[in-house]
Structure 1
């Protein structure tokens, strides 16, 4: 199957942002995704104020989708805790709700939608489970899942694993989490908790493989160990959480930035830069890269030129978030973060602001 227009691999926030931007300028494109029903990808349930700005530029009204307002950050380290006001209002919204709306908008602006599972990519030809696809321009937006032929390097001997637990609405839990996002720090990782639309709680855990191995590789056993040493986390989990579904994804290359790319292949989202999820800026980078890649294509700029420019734009937030992540996953670093937030909350807020990707140009400036 041959397309004369751009083929976008992946219909998440990055791919849909590219499709919506292309559609706004009358450019045809095809979105290829492995699933017709919209899923609820692991993590990504926190939308920073920068993400909200970008979505507003695309015409996505997250408040109408039921996004839960977030004004503060709670840090926990065992029995220690501190509260810090966020620089601006953020939101909790599931990827299911966000992706559903962005996919709807992409199709409404003219994107063709095709369902297939990508097996590999070579010389501009995409091999799927059902067919082969050729296009002069490819937008690689497959998120944390690599495509054979364009895989990201993984050098760390102790890789990071993502684990997600989603719990139904609970009045008691929602009172504890009202208006807040929480980070529960422990050696080897952290747990992030935020309330989403409808009052459900999204609980994401980023953990080193070695820490998971210590409990026999069982995510449930790890949650139980963490709850035993953290009464606040145990209170948030509540009763019956063991019966909830656990989703996992392995070998996340946090801190990686793509600085070059093959001709005609624009890399977006986690295929362009993987910011540690502790920063809560993954959705923003996805949307920013989608808009930037589409804008570069419209302006006639090559994929390698776009990739170098976006790498420079992502460098500061990714480096800062990586430094914070490495510090937070140590006992000394976690205790220092709690102490610093008590002594100077403004510094923590400054770190949160610094971990945001620089604002994107509006569509009118393309």
Structure 2
């Protein structure tokens, strides 16, 4: 078959791109090797930016998610500094859980991704084909991409390819040039638990920056049905240099760390501890080329400090749909024309990614991280900055002003 637009990967980035194309009346083919619902290893947190992107797809989607049993509303973040100090950062000052709409949610990826796929299934403009493993990508003389399955059989010939098939994307590595770089890649583990005690009554997510585990961090995110997503992440470069066994470290911290051991003493682990790799957005990379765009994890857009990838995938999906429409209208599929997509994505995410990269590097200096955590307790600017990493607030104008950094350093209110 021949199509104008083929999207590889039906996760948040690919599904978002397909839905925006459908809103514009543009047909597309959406392929995924899995059959939904399917699990994906992730932290499972949905930030305010996710809700904003859902709203851009369809104004009713955030409200549908809000009442769905697959999620918990989350009202903030608890940061635990290396010195043990807890910094509670609500997403909204003086929030009222009984009356306000939550700024964030937590939902297992198996459920959230299927939430998006159910919306995809309702759109006649989108042809969703599941269980299709694409093993070969061959560019034809006219620029189109011929995609073949594992047997070498042709699947589709596409004028424009939107590649959203995740952190292990063969296309992104071999054709997009996104080689694994240990200094810009995170190794992680995730497990589900039941019966973790001491979770915040308003479902604050927890990030623990433990002295002996830096520059890594440990998270605890509450989930529906009394469960919790628990995991660790550390730069691949640091894992290799320090010869860290992440599985042993995770088990040890949960069993012995003063802030965690009592809370996990009677908790039950549900299923195995699963590993994953995250290509971080701490380095600016090329996101497009002749007749293709890279989206989400395949575009190495994961936040280097928080590890958030869902909202960035959805942002890239929205811009990919926009530039796919422009390319078709202009009949322009060159690398030069599609570079406008790169500019659009980095114009939205670049400043935040750079700031997150700075925060990530602070983990190499525990004393400085402790200083900032202590200062943040009395400095609204720092607390707001941490919160904004999880919200849909445009930080670009503030980040351009020298006065913003002065407030961070001297504690001005």
Confirm or deny a common fold (TM above 0.5): yes
Cα distance in 2 between the residues matched to 1:206 and 1:140? 25
TM-superposed deviation, 1:43: 1.6
Residues 1:7 and 1:315: Cα distance change in structure 2 (over 3 Å): same
Cα distance in 2 between the residues matched to 1:188 and 1:261? 32
Q: Identify the residue that residue 314 of structure 2 maps to in structure 1.
A: 287
From 182, 189, 194, the counterpart of 1:163? 189
Cα distance in 2 between the residues matched to 1:229 and 1:339? 25
From 59, 62, 66, the counterpart of 1:63? 66
Cα distance in 2 between the residues matched to 1:50 and 1:145? 24
Cα distance in 1 between the residues matched to 2:26 and 2:240? 49
Cα distance in 2 between the residues matched to 1:42 and 1:179? 20
Residues 1:287 and 1:351: Cα distance change in structure 2 (over 3 Å): same
Q: Identify the residue that residue 123 of structure 2 maps to in structure 1.
A: 109
Paired residues, number: 356
Verify: 1:126 aligned to 2:147, yes or no. yes
1:1-366 mapped onto 2 (5 Å cutoff)? 2-59=1-58, 60=61, 61-66=64-69, 67-77=71-81, 80-88=84-92, 89-110=103-124, 111-114=126-129, 115-123=131-139, 124-130=145-151, 131-132=153-154, 133-147=156-170, 148-156=174-182, 159-168=185-194, 170=195, 173=197, 175-176=199-200, 178-186=202-210, 187-209=214-236, 212=239, 218-227=245-254, 230-239=257-266, 241=268, 244-250=271-277, 252-276=279-303, 278-279=305-306, 281-299=308-326, 300=329, 302-353=337-388
Aligned-CA RMSD value:
2.8
Residues 1:278 and 1:70: Cα distance change in structure 2 (over 3 Å): farther
Residues 1:95 and 1:180: Cα distance change in structure 2 (over 3 Å): same
Asked if the contact 1:166–1:202 (Cα under 8 Å) also holds between the matched residues in 2, the reply is: yes
Matched residue of 1:125: which SS?
A: strand
Matched residue of 1:85: which SS?
A: strand
List gaps (5 residues or longer) in structure 1. Answer: 360-366
Residue-by-residue CA offset, 1:73-99 (whole Å, 9 max, x unaligned): 211135612233334421111111110
Cα distance in 2 between the residues matched to 1:226 and 1:215? 17
Cα distance in 1 between the residues matched to 2:390 and 2:66? 24
Residues 1:350 and 1:212: Cα distance change in structure 2 (over 3 Å): closer
Residues 1:176 and 1:298: Cα distance change in structure 2 (over 3 Å): same
Matched residue of 1:295: which SS?
A: helix
Residue-by-residue CA offset, 1:158-206 (whole Å, 9 max, x unaligned): 85202111113x3x53644642111101312111221123332112311
Asked if the contact 2:7–2:28 (Cα under 8 Å) also holds between the matched residues in 1, the reply is: yes
TM-superposed deviation, 1:19: 0.8
TM-superposed deviation, 1:216: 6.7
TM-superposed deviation, 1:212: 4.7
TM-superposed deviation, 1:314: 1.8
List gaps (5 residues or longer) in structure 2. Answer: 93-102, 140-144, 331-336, 395-413
Matched residue of 1:152: which SS?
A: coil
Cα distance in 2 between the residues matched to 1:236 and 1:276? 28
Question: Which one has a bigger Cα radius of gyration?
Answer: 2
Matched residue of 1:234: which SS?
A: coil
Residue-by-residue CA offset, 1:49-90 (whole Å, 9 max, x unaligned): 121121123232221323212222211135612233334421
Asked if the contact 2:278–2:297 (Cα under 8 Å) also holds between the matched residues in 1, the reply is: no
